[in-house]
Every structure is written in structure tokens, then in C-alpha cells.
Amino acid sequence: MKLSKTPKKFSNIVDEVYAIYGMKGAKEEHHALKVWQNVVGETIAKMTEVEKFVRGILYVRVHNPSWRNELSFRKKNIIGKLNEAVGKAMVKDIVFK
């Protein structure tokens, strides 16, 4: 990143800052967590809580055993939609707990 006398908005340089500090992967993982509600919808989002995203595996706590079972059946579809939302194949698996 070049130093300049003209101030820049952080939103315009954030990707460059993440790359400099080796955090680009963390930013992408965080984005995958943020799109959960949009991908699964409001009803499922209320019944779930995204806990973490580690090495391509998304860990989701489900507050109801019936929903856990239903989401297990929908897992492949949800993974596809999540990867589409983030623009790359980041999510390899989802563990519903």
C-alpha cells in the first residue's frame, strides 16, 4: 500500500489491508457467516445460530431437533447457495449441532 497525502475511505482500501496482513481468508470466512440469514431465510435463521467457520466447515447450532433433521436433508442445497452467495466454493460441509 502506497502512502499518500490524500486521505482515503477505509472501505476503499479494506481489501488491500486484509491482503497485507494475511487476513484475506478470514475476511471471506466472516462474509460466509454474514450471508447465512439471507441464504436460509428468516424462519430457519431464527431456529439456528452460526457458531464458527473452520477449514471449510460451518458449525451451526440448531435449537430444535426436528429442524436439525430437516436441515441435514437440505445440507447440500444450503452449501450450494452459500458458496454462490460468497462467490466461491468456500463451504465444504456444514455440521448441525
Burial (Cβ within 10 Å: 0-12, 13-18, ≥19) of residue 71: buried
Output the tens digit of pLDDT for each of the chain's 97 residues: 566 677 777 666 766 766 676 666 666 666 666 788 888 888 888 999 888 888 889 999 999 999 999 999 999 999 999 999 888 888 899 999 9
Q: Which three cell numbers stand for residue 18?
A: 486484509
The per-residue pLDDT for 62 is 95
How many H helices and E strands in the chain? 5, 3
Phi then psi for residue 53, to 5 deg, are -135, 110
The C-alpha atoms of residue 33 and residue 58 are separated, in whole angstroms, by 8
